[in-house]
Amino acid sequence: IRRETRCRDHSVRYYLEKLKDNGVIERRPFINIYPLGYVDYALYFSMVSGGEKVREEMLNNLVFSPQISWIALLGGDFQYGIAICAKHHQEVVEFLSRFSTAYPGAFFDKALSLRVGVTVFPRKYLAGEKSSLKPVAFGGTVKTTTIDSKDFQILSAMEHKAYSSDRDLARQLGM
């Protein structure tokens, strides 16, 4: 984070603590989007057969889309699941419209849901093994916070960069 934002280590620590205090980050690498005014929309869908090349291109575009926070290959009624972060439902409609125009028939047999809360469980949570890690839960909140450019740089780096500690992240961003 330090290298990306050109700030000192103590500045990165300050901003990370501020993000933690405001409930934006709970525990790495999960970022709680709800206090930032975002809502999580989940789309579950199957694809019309368009060939492996089209499928790979479409999935690659989804993976690198800034609106997508989660993507998974599923079993059962739907082939894929994605989570779309938006401040307003119209953003989701526009995203899906643009994507459907670029990939006709991409969203065949679909279901869209508003996720008012998300709980992420650690590995082997239900395997009966005692784990010191607890589930991380996020959800809608009436308390929102704003972030400045440094906060944004830190969150972006947390999302896109590998780091082993806050100090390592600060070093990478130049903070």
Taking only the tens place, the pLDDT of each residue in 111-156 is 888 888 777 776 666 666 666 667 777 776 667 778 888 888 887 7
Given a cut of 80, is residue 37 above it in pLDDT?
yes
Tell me: the pLDDT tens digits for 66-100?
A: 889 889 989 888 989 999 999 899 999 999 999 88
Q: How far is residue 8's CA from residue 2's CA, in Å, rounded to a whole number?
A: 6
One-letter amino acid for residue 168 of the chain: D
Q: Indicate the pLDDT class of residue 41, thresholds 50, 70 and 90.
A: very high
Question: Is the preceding omega at residue 29 within 30 degrees of 0, hence cis?
Answer: yes
- Helices and strands (H and E) in the chain: how many: 6, 6
